[in-house]
Copies of this chain bind each other. A is one copy, B any other.
Amino acid sequence: MPNQRFYTNKGPFPLGKLVELSNSTFCEGVGSQVKNAQIKDVAFISNAELGTVTYCSDPRLLDSLTNTEATACIISQKNLESLPENVIPILNEQPQRAYAKIASTMYPTECNQLLHTGASVDATAKVDSSAIICSGVVVGPGAEIGANVTIGPNSVIGKGVIIGQNTSIDSNVSISHSIIGSSVKILAGARIGQEGFGFIMDDEGYLSIPQLGCVRIADNVEIGANTTIDRGSLSDTTIGTGTRIDNLVQIAHNVQIGKGCVIVAQVGIAGSTVIGDYAALAGQAGIAQHLKIGKGARVAAQGGVIRDVREGETISGTPAIPIMEWRRQHVALSKLSQKRKGDL
């Protein structure tokens, strides 16, 4: 169960309320005694105590239900018979989704409770009175900070930056030259809006191209720790609504990322590439510059993409090719190597 050092438990809640807010149902004929049972916490099947609710969405865990001490368990109809009689079933065809709703009721997102003294806010910045600006934060001239925004300790918000309402920014973040939407979440150490890696290389030597664009991040985007997003050179670097970006990702200047994309840790996307809606890039994948990745395309972990990718295509390898062909090549190479070994 969550460590109370770090998390504030808002429980207990009557079981009936948790069932309702998670769009779940009881089995038929359940009485008010069950509905009023007090639930104090969420827990895993294996370490649940009396008074907690757990969930089971993984068939491999059905056996472990036998020994759980949870008071109630979220489970789908088809797995109901695996639940021991002493555990109250909460019926939901998406147990993990129901769990997420109950867990976020039990432990609502907390405002950053660190001290907020000693921030340096420029006199020309507009900061909504409901915003929380923690210690050591620096806010530049003309910046606009919306309602209910939290800015964690020692983060730096540059000149003119706009941050939409309900957005939360963790500690030690740097943001410049950016327009950030509402309900965006930015984790510690992210760098957004710095100069891109753009310069002319010719016989006269290197010459920096002024990077005069900005970064535009739509609503509900999440950005991981120590991730870097460079601003555009003259057009903008853009991230679409609801896209989720993990830690240590590199997004170069002028990249355009669509809605609902999933970009896993340590991915790198080179300059001016366009990523379609709902594309998924697995960990450590790299995408070369000036490419178009189609809507819903998927790149396997460590894939190296050097050509456009069609809508819905799944590719793997370096250079990345259709994943079935990639697998065939690995089988072919394995057979060839074994044959040679036999020949020796």
Q: Which residues of A contact B (CB under 8 A)?
A: 1-3, 5-7, 42-44, 94, 96-97, 99-101, 103-104, 107, 113-115, 117-118, 120-122, 134-136, 138, 140-142, 152-154, 156, 158-160, 162, 170-174, 176-177, 185, 187-189, 191, 194-195, 197, 199-202, 204-210, 212-214, 222, 224-226, 228, 230, 234-235, 242, 244, 246-248, 250, 252, 260, 262, 264-266, 268, 270, 283-284, 286, 288, 301-302, 304, 306, 317-319, 321, 325, 328-337, 340-341
Contact = CB atoms under 8 A, between A and B. Distances in A.
A323 to B, nearest CB: 12
B284 A286 contact: yes
B224 A228 contact: yes
Given A100-B208, A202-B94, A283-B270, A171 B174 contact: yes
- A107, A122, A141, A337 — most chain B CB neighbours (10 Å): A337
A341 to B, nearest CB: 6
A35 to B, nearest CB: 24
A312 to B, nearest CB: 16
A195 B206 contact: no
A270 to B, nearest CB: 6
A2 B233 CA distance: 9
Nearest to A118: B120
Contacts of A331: 337, 340
A187 to B, nearest CB: 5
12 contacts: A42-B234, A114-B158, A135-B138, A138-B153, A174-B225, A187-B195, A188-B191, A191-B247, A194-B224, A226-B248, A286-B301, A318-B318
Contacts of A158: 6, 114, 171
A235 B114 CA distance: 25
A214 B6 contact: yes
A61 to B, nearest CB: 13
Nearest to A195: B187
B252 A250 contact: no
A248 B269 CA distance: 12
A246 B289 CA distance: 14
A239 to B, nearest CB: 14
A228 B226 contact: yes
B118 A118 contact: yes
Contacts of A141: 113-114
A154 B142 contact: no
A172 B3 CA distance: 26
B268 A268 contact: no
Contacts of A262: 201
Contacts of A332: 333, 336-337, 340
A210 B122 CA distance: 35
A155 to B, nearest CB: 8
A304 B302 contact: yes
A332 to B, nearest CB: 4
